Amino acid sequence: MAWTIGDSGFQMTLSSEIPKLVEREVAGALAPLWEGCGVSPEEMGGWAVHPGGRAILDSFEATFGLPDEALAASRAVLRRYGNMSSATVLFVLERLLRSAGAPARPVTAVAFGPGLAVESALLEAVT
């Protein structure tokens, strides 16, 4: 992952290896979160995944065996806004909360940051 500062702002370049890295490492990175909260990926009511790119989302889905619609909010935000770095996950969360079928069960929020750090949280709606 590299940033170039130009006349019109920041330009981010991602290595083609990142989706493979995500597929290989993300389950291990998220396991302590779920174990600490006593939940499993199968119990998730929703997924707010930073849309770093189509291939990254595809890798995430493949890792957890998610159905196509599981990352619909992430894909919609990617189409509309592109990859705005790890803060893009906040746009995904907003889309999930505004959707007609807002998740009643926990949501795993995942963002990828500098050096390909994985930032994560387990969230539940309070009514």
Which single residue is written with the structure tokens 């189509």? Answer: 54
- pLDDT of 103 higher than 80: no
Q: What is the mean pLDDT of the chain?
A: 88
* Predicted local distance difference test score (pLDDT) of residue 117: 83
In sequence order, the 6+-apart residues with CB closer than 8 A to the CB of 38 are none
**Per-residue pLDDT reduced to its tens digit, 25-70:** 999 999 999 999 999 999 999 999 999 899 999 999 999 999 989 9
For residues 43 and 104, is the Cβ–Cβ distance under 8 A?
A: no
Residue 102 has pLDDT above 70, yes or no: no
Task: Provide mean pLDDT across the span 11-20.
Answer: 78
Instruction: Tell the burial category of 5 from Cβ atoms under 10 Å away from its Cβ (0-12, 13-18, 19+).
Output: exposed
Residue 83, pLDDT score:
86
DSSP letters for the chain: -EEEEETTEEEEE--TTHHHHHHHHHHHHHHHHHHHHT--GGG-SEEEE--S-HHHHHHHHHHHT--GGGGHHHHHHHHHH---STTHHHHHHHHHHHSTT--SS-EEEEEEEGGGEEEEEEE----
Res 98: pLDDT? 87
Query: Is the model more confident about 66 or about 22?
Result: 66
CB neighbours of residue 68 within 10 Å: 8
pLDDT for 121 equals 96
All domains in the chain, ordered by first residue: 17-123 (3.40.47.10)
